[in-house]
Structure 1
Amino acid sequence: MKRRKEIGKLFAVGFVTTGLLLAGCGSAQTQETGSAAEEVQAGVSEESSTEETVHKVTFYDSDAATVLKEAEVVDGALAEEYVPEKEGYVFVDWFATPQMSHKFNFEQPVTEDMSAFAGFVSYQEDEREFAIVGSGTSLALLESNWGTSITDVHKMTKEESDSENIYTITLDLNEGDEFQFAINTQWNDQRGYGYLDTISLDSKDYFYNSGGLGEASTKRSNIKCAVTGNYTFTLTTYPAEDTYDTSASNYSEENKEGFNINPYDKITWTYNGEATANAGDMQVNYYIKGAVITGWEDVYSAETEFTQDGDIYTLSVGLTEGDEFMFTSMVTVGDIATVGTEYIRFTNIASDDADSLSFVSEGGGANLIAGQDGTYTFTYDASSKVLVVSCK
């Protein structure tokens, strides 16, 4: 950052001439006018200065060391984007970090010295097949059942090109659907929330980060749909730039494709309007799942299942002190049953419900922890999303 000084001079020649013409009219006038003239003459030599804050934006090559260009930007103004060239490579975009974790925002006013890093890629044909994997209440994700089923409905179509790898899919999504794109039922080479080019359209958010698979990185987080409708997704890949998260605790050469990431791949989307099909009548139910009571397995039985009366769901079950648990959902449409995307956790208890809070405490991930041995009764209002707890 530096400051630029702008200098200007004050001119009052007309006033000085007038003072000289009045000088012969009397000594008093001469002295007075002469004094004024001196002041004006002094003004001629005075300098007025203002300082302008200027910041430097440095454009680096992808090695984060080679400087491609430097630009001076006035405080509060926008940096000007340009397209660099590099023999044998294609320029993709400017990024804000050397790791290419997110794009440089040219719409954000510059208020400090900044750096931008060029994303260059080399073309390599992508021979992988990508598909949508996830769960929800739309037809495709009901059938996907968290990726355990991949059919032609889920597969993306790869465009024919000798210079780009572009996959597309058009399908209906319902609010609450969660998904990613991957190459198989093990979710290898998954492309999630962190690959989305944007989540908003006309100042409205259509998707949000739902997390998933215990990963902090948004690259591998689930995408959750916020607006029901028909969508077209486009996945652009640059396989020559694939890397692996070798720092992950359970990474190995055998399972490395589960940790495949790419700083340049991106997902774009268009909202085509209302959904084109209806999945049909839907039944939602809830089940308990815990460390002791089910060994964190999904167990769907009369002992673990809530009973339903309209929007009110009730479950009475024996728990031991310290058992950590939560409630998961099951969605059934016709002959298709799939694990849902809705969960009931500690955060569903009203903060002022002292009775319920006296029986359970909060565990990791907002799970519930039983405070004592006993028979617990859980009452869940699906319309208000409020859980009430009692224990005998």
Structure 2
Amino acid sequence: MTARAAPPKTRDWSLRSRAVRAILYQVLALGLIALGVWFLAHNTLENMRVRGIQSGFDFLTGPAGFDIGELLIPYESVDPYWKAFLVGVLNTLRVAIVGIVLTTLLGTLIGVGRFSNNAIVRGLCYGYVELFRNVPVLLQLLVWYLVLTEMLPNPDEPMNLGGLVFLSKGGLSYPVPVWGTGQALAALGLVAGAVLSWLWARKARTLFEATGQVRPVLLPSIGLLIGGTLVGWLAGGAPMEWNLPKAGDVAVEGGSSLTPEFISVLLGLTFYTAAFVAEVVRAGIASVPRGQSEASGALGLGKGQQMRLVVLPQALRVIIPPMTNQYLNLTKNSSLAVAIGYPDVVSISNTAINQTGRAVECIALIMLVYLTTSLTTSGIMNWYNTRSAIKER
């Protein structure tokens, strides 16, 4: 007697199915949210129309009519508003990206320093955390700005370091190479060196996990970065031309410079956020069982190797999620730069509102910028968190 084949399963599309009800509830929820958004937008536009207030984003194509102090791209007052907003967005990203890098380095050093065998180092790291995380970030921005604009010498009598770097109330001036083919090839060499450094570090880690053999990483990585840059520079003809700053009768001329506003925002956000990052790193390291350090020490690894090769990789699963929050906080706190006159996207939007009266549109653009940057940061960190997760065998 042959076994009868089981009848094919059919999906139950009635309301008695839990899956169908779940889909229906989600569709209804999305519909209600869309209806609420439409109602608010329609009501706002109608009230603005009744009161004779213009609306729409057509103002973005009109001339801005104002100058901007800090530029990463060419801009003039006759350019349209959308380009002024682009300048503000780039200035915001400039602070956020540089701040995230410096915050990560400083916060990690402070967090690791909390476990130092030296009592003075531990005390200094503890004092740093308690000082900077308990002072409001806006107050820190104002303090840095007052220090840079009140205590430094006037631009006509700047402090200098070897006649190459100048510091005054006008900002920090430093030499930059005159851009050409040689500099472009040197930059490509630096990128190539960074890629090779990453590959070397990955190979060294794979070898350590497989055999326990430790290979140096820091010095070879530095050598690859310098070597790649040097090869590119030589391939481009070894150019030696530099744009050097020099003290003038009124201000420092030539070279490149960082304004007091940018330096104040960068220092304030970096020192403030690094205090929280240090606590995140400390908590992550503390979550690793002490037996891991003892076992790695028994294998002959030094204190630095234990921290770099054993403890920190395991602590990353605890560190990365709250670290993402700190990156987001730093990016959003950059909006406080408007208090000291740094021309970020919020400052540009305030000027546009005063000139055009398009408050709703400008605020919507600000929200879009910060929403996009936050989601992008979260996506990158979630991807890194997935790659750094410990894989069970």
TM exceeds 0.5? no
| TM-score normalised by L of structure 1 | 0.21
| TM-score normalised by L of structure 2 | 0.21
Q: Which has the higher contact order (CA 8 A, sep 6+)?
A: 2
Q: More strand by proportion, 1 or 2?
A: 1
- Give the structure with higher Rg (CA): 1
Q: More helix by proportion, 1 or 2?
A: 2
